[in-house]
């Protein structure tokens, strides 16, 4: 049992060190990708390659269904608002 715990602890530390090194080495790319995902929500493979190479992504034209019809709207991510959370239930006195 002791040997298993030591091996597990070693593997866990090894994985943590490797993840930390990847984030340190590729931190700039990580932040660019995170920013692009916050702006566009989804990215295809070509867009990911552009972001990782340092290129800016063009604004997209998104299709939206309004009243049963598809309409095109410019998707910049700038006009997005945070969704409203439902009100917390009020406690019932007993």
Residues 1-46 pLDDT 10s: 678 889 999 999 999 999 999 999 989 999 999 999 998 889 999 9
Report the distance separating Cα 46 and Cα 48, nearest Å. Answer: 5
Q: Confirm whether pTM is higher than 0.85.
A: no
Q: What is the pLDDT of residues 61-92, one digit of tens each?
A: 655 556 666 555 555 444 455 556 666 666 66
Contacts of 61 (CB under 8 A, 6+ apart): 72, 73, 74, 75
User: What sections of 1-94 are H helices per DSSP?
Assistant: 2-25, 27-40, 45-53
* Phi and psi at residue 62, to the nearest 5°: -95, 145
By DSSP bridging, strand 69-75 and strand 60-66 are antiparallel
């Amino acid at each position: 049992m002791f040997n298993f715990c030591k091996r597990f602890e070693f593997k866990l530390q090894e994985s943590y060190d490797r993840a930390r090194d990847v984030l340190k080495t590729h931190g700039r790319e990580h932040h660019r990708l995170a920013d692009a995902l916050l702006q566009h929500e989804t990215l295809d493979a070509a867009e990911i390659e552009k972001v990782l190479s340092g290129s800016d992504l063009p604004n997209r034209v998104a299709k939206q269904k309004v009243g049963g019809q598809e309409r095109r709207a410019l998707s910049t991510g700038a006009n997005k608002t945070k969704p409203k959370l439902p009100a917390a239930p009020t406690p019932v006195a007993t």
